[in-house]
Chains A and B, each alone.
Chain A
């Protein structure tokens, strides 16, 4: 910390290195939008109520306590602040540093000082780091003097003081005289007032001044230590078992997502007008997936967050939830990759699937995918929960019973001011993480650790060997079932689904062959021989005789009745008449086919066929007005992939670039201001401007220009002129750190900038 201190926060910000300023803007991103003109504007923005609240919400309990101590202490040294906090001094000092870093506290010439708005916003009780003490009287009285005053009190007065301090530090005095010497005091209240252990605050109210409160608490703002981060209550579990359980859940999450989206691809649920998913559709999905509705809601929300599910237009033209066209690519990826996409989306999603099914204040149940179902703190809560679990170390899992409350306590310590619904939110995160396979048996899976450290690819790579290998065979049994004792290769699974019905899912899949399913396979172009070959090739064991018989028996009757497509038929009792038509040289275009001696069919519609037949000399009559058949196949519906999500790396890079740009802008604004302060700008004639600019081009100097833009706004900026021609100045603008052109006639002032101030 600077020994000397600064005149103001703006002053301090100006003195900070770019790197430190960048850190501030990263920690408080609201300060950077829109880019502030200069450090003064930055400083004033940092002091606004909304920004302060946001920043306070990001503090840990220790940091809040330090801030509170600072408010109580008033002007003082960092060491004294640290000594007032019931915590390890080194940690208190570090916390104070952090408060300075996030610009809640600045270093004045007389020591660290909180921003003026902070004191009012520190509300609540001890659990959010508020001691409830009043600020010390200024100048701060000697603690020893306070102590001796306290020692001299009568027991009654002491009891009264303790009572007032315990009841919020405020009381009314009634008839007590305020101006009285200790020797003359007749009542306990007068004793306290005379020794300034209670201080009148007007309107008959007296308060316990901060120094007295501190003395009553043994010289510290709290009697309890505040730097003890609550530890997680954990128990030992074999990490391999944890990993296996988590991997099982991970695989299930992926499998269920695929199953659900496959089902929704052919029969999409409609999107509610309010944007959500209907309760009945959710229930049906839960039934399909064999999980409860909460897990279903999670999977649906995660699929949307991952861009696999989106609204589109269903078969009937109404809005519906459909798998996106990215889904097909996703479905073809290995399971670990698919998992990665789901969990990274979940981690970054502000959605609150845990709320689904509960009722809002108006008594209306929340629908899954409802647009309002998100919270600002969700992403952070997820990360912090996972980080807390990661801190437990390998082989340790949350103890059943006491574990979850301890997790909650830890998060409460880290972010005491966070939302009131944290208890629920933490519970949801824990349940969601278990359902998505990040945790198992209450402990973080080994493969999920890299994910917490923002290395999703490594996480997926570590998960992959824990997932069951896709199988290329099934066990065929005489009860006409096929059991796949594990996940099947996707192509094999799809083929089997045509030939047999799925009877049970899970780690394994049970398929049942029925006459219906075999017929379905024959319908899609399989032959009995192909079926036999297929069954023989996928089975490790001999194909049971009844199954062979089933295939043959179904194939035997298959196709004994044939159905075709025709637009028109021609019927005549006279076989020769039909033969004549069929044999006519110009009949080729009629697309006629003989079904029976007395029946012809044509694929031409009657209205085309009829005149052509008449041209051939026949005299047909229309027997039936209509007889067409429509064959419909359910379409595979797909929605557009939602806007591409940026990867965390990209996002960080962009953010970094943006922060750098803002820092540059602020710096440039500062220089503009400082230049203006030293030499007030005076209007120049256009020729004078030109001269000054040309000179600057020659000498490679930076100049401050006053410029009126298209909107008539006058701005001042520092530029490095590069060229002046055609009434245009080409120059590098420090503010945007880019080359811009300026109309010379709009330049109102040109001032040289001292090389020292221009250097950046």
Chain B
């Protein structure tokens, strides 16, 4: 028996006891290859996955390092079969390489002939490859670079891409650090990306991913296409870039439903790119509109499927993905790995929080009981109606009012899913509301007013979920959500986690109806919060101090 902080389970999870004196060292040692699954207060759970191990390989770690790390920190003997499995999995990465051939262009080269034979025999691969040059080399159709990588990953033989990148059209971009400085981890993240070529940077909400993107652009010094989730977020990117870099407003174009500008730096929304008319994507030519030197994907975990297909054709351009989490609700982490690139930088939330970059949060779940008449309606309702009924109980309005009263003078967001409920709340609280139909201009005005402190209370629908920077929000009250999505929870919590003045604690309330599906969905969210290491409490609405 060893006195290590790590316990390796036979299901390939790693349990890290964080109160152990060597826990910090261990965490650093396993972070490159194990994915943090949850981080509650005492024992953090990491998982060994093929993708994680390949990410580590891509970052230059070898199997021996991984095995040694496990052996060094493991409290109990590590199952031998697991070590063998780690070594075998890691050995699969890089047996196949994509290389540039001076005559034949893109080629697939193997250091292990049987592997090459195996993949060449796969039906899916057949259409992507051309003539066999010699025993170990085969020509790949230039347009299939991305598709081939995707297919090889599915076969379990991920290819390492050495085929290089086009430089793109040069354009001077520099960081303008006269009034601020890039934080260390932001600089590390941008550097790791640049040295890796392409890949994904994982940073928590509020940790300044936009600046990592800007730093990457300053490395590339080339025309850049930035893909973001929505128009508001596009505007924020633009503002940040103007403020933080040598770029001027004229050099940055917006390509969205409203505007179709193409400039050296162009910010486009996913929505406009994936817009489909008569079976075709009319805005696809944007991707070829300029000789882009860098493509930035904001919120990679939300990347819609058509964008993956387009990205497959963009393999010759440098790509950086920015995200708070690699976990995708649709399980397409493999596509992110093969098409955008391996993870190049990662820092857990708690670490950045403890460095003081994001605010600590106090999460409270408030449970309300449905009144008897609503209970009956709920019990007899159709299953698809139940959540709406439970989530929209009038009781919640009362509770929201109490909670708002508890935090006088603190900027408060009330977040919900259902428009009627939001309208009802807005009326009851006498606060402005932002929902889907609110114009972009009006949204920006309200957000600006909230930021400046003009408005202390804002009721918002899910449009506010992503990429809107409301650093001043100190209290969030969630009344309904989209069925307990972990994604959504991360984003909403993210709204609050911007650093607060005087290190104030943010408050995050969720109001749920007891004994209904609302409470069941809430459990998912709670679990997510607890797994992220946020202590949360459950209180009954009756117990709230009046």
Please say whether chains A and B are actual partners in one complex: yes
Q: Which residues on A are within 8 Å of B, measured CB to CB?
A: 241, 244-249, 251-252, 289-292, 295, 434, 440, 466-468, 475-481, 483, 485-486, 504-508, 510, 541, 544-546, 549, 553, 557
A485 touches B41 (CB 8 A): no
- CB contact under 8 A between A507 and B43, given known A478-B536, A479-B530, A545-B538: no
The smallest C-beta distance from A520 to any residue of chain B, in angstroms, reads 17
A505 to B10, CA, bound (A): 6
Q: Considering the complex, give the chain B residue whose CB is closest to the CB of A539.
A: B42
Which residues does chain A contribute within 8 Å of B514, judged by CB atoms? 553
B77 touches A248 (CB 8 A): yes
B380 located at the interface, meaning its Cβ lies under 8 Å from any Cβ of chain A in the complex? no
A246 to B76, CA, bound (A): 11
A-B contacts besides A252-B79, A507-B8, A508-B9, 17 pairs, CB < 8 Å = A245-B80, A247-B1, A251-B77, A252-B10, A477-B41, A477-B42, A478-B41, A485-B17, A486-B75, A506-B8, A507-B74, A507-B76, A507-B77, A508-B7, A510-B45, A546-B536, A546-B537
A478 touches B7 (CB 8 A): no
A479 touches B38 (CB 8 A): yes
A485 touches B15 (CB 8 A): yes
Instruction: Choose among B2, B13, B77, B530 the residue that contacts A480 (Cβ–Cβ < 8 A).
Output: B530
A557 touches B515 (CB 8 A): yes
A468 to B7, CA, bound (A): 12
Can you list 27 pairs linking A and B with CB atoms under 8 Å apart? A241-B71, A245-B77, A245-B78, A247-B77, A248-B77, A248-B78, A249-B80, A291-B81, A295-B81, A475-B17, A476-B42, A477-B42, A477-B530, A478-B530, A479-B40, A479-B527, A481-B43, A483-B43, A485-B75, A486-B7, A505-B9, A506-B9, A506-B11, A506-B76, A507-B7, A544-B535, A546-B530
A148 to B330, CA, bound (A): 90
A508 to B1, CA, bound (A): 13
B76 touches A504 (CB 8 A): no
Query: Which 4 residue pairs across A and B have the least CB separation, nearest first?
Result: A248-B77, A506-B9, A479-B530, A507-B76
A504 touches B13 (CB 8 A): yes
Which residues does chain B contribute within 8 Å of A479, judged by CB atoms? 38, 40, 526-527, 530-531
Instruction: Choose among A244, A440, A468, A480 the residue that contacts B527 (Cβ–Cβ < 8 A).
Output: A480
B1 touches A504 (CB 8 A): no
Q: Is the interface of B mostly helix, strand, loop or mixed?
A: mixed
A289 to B11, CA, bound (A): 9
The smallest C-beta distance from B444 to any residue of chain A, in angstroms, reads 38
A43 to B8, CA, bound (A): 62
The smallest C-beta distance from A553 to any residue of chain B, in angstroms, reads 8
Which residues does chain B contribute within 8 Å of A510, judged by CB atoms? 9, 13, 15, 45
A549 touches B2 (CB 8 A): no
Interface centre among A290, A476, A557 (most CB of B within 10 A): A290
Instruction: Choose among A290, A475, A545 the residue that contacts B11 (Cβ–Cβ < 8 A).
Output: A290
Which residues does chain A contribute within 8 Å of B1, judged by CB atoms? 244, 247, 466-468
A247 to B2, CA, bound (A): 12
Which residues does chain A contribute within 8 Å of B535, judged by CB atoms? 478, 544
The smallest C-beta distance from A366 to any residue of chain B, in angstroms, reads 22
A546 touches B42 (CB 8 A): no
**Count of chain B residues with Cβ under 8 Å from any Cβ of A?**
35
B40 touches A477 (CB 8 A): yes
A246 to B11, CA, bound (A): 19
The smallest C-beta distance from A298 to any residue of chain B, in angstroms, reads 12
Which residues does chain B contribute within 8 Å of A476, judged by CB atoms? 42
The smallest C-beta distance from B265 to any residue of chain A, in angstroms, reads 42
Interface centre among A248, A249, A545 (most CB of B within 10 A): A248
Which residues does chain A contribute within 8 Å of B78, judged by CB atoms? 245, 248
Interface residues of B in 129-160 (CB under 8 A from A): none
Instruction: Choose among A241, A475, A480, A486 the residue that contacts B76 (Cβ–Cβ < 8 A).
Output: A486
B538 touches A546 (CB 8 A): yes
Which residues does chain B contribute within 8 Å of A477, judged by CB atoms? 40-43, 530
A691 to B114, CA, bound (A): 93
Which residues does chain B contribute within 8 Å of A505, judged by CB atoms? 9-11
A541 to B43, CA, bound (A): 12
A544 to B9, CA, bound (A): 24
Interface residues of B in 323-358 (CB under 8 A from A): none
B80 touches A434 (CB 8 A): yes
Which residues does chain A contribute within 8 Å of B7, judged by CB atoms? 485-486, 506-508
Which residues does chain B contribute within 8 Å of A485, judged by CB atoms? 7, 15, 17, 43, 75
A549 touches B527 (CB 8 A): no
The smallest C-beta distance from B534 to any residue of chain A, in angstroms, reads 8
The smallest C-beta distance from A634 to any residue of chain B, in angstroms, reads 26
A22 to B2, CA, bound (A): 50
A467 to B76, CA, bound (A): 9
A137 to B71, CA, bound (A): 67
B80 touches A504 (CB 8 A): no
Interface centre among A245, A292, A467, A476 (most CB of B within 10 A): A245
Which residues does chain A contribute within 8 Å of B526, judged by CB atoms? 479, 546
A103 to B81, CA, bound (A): 48
The smallest C-beta distance from A354 to any residue of chain B, in angstroms, reads 16
The smallest C-beta distance from B35 to any residue of chain A, in angstroms, reads 15
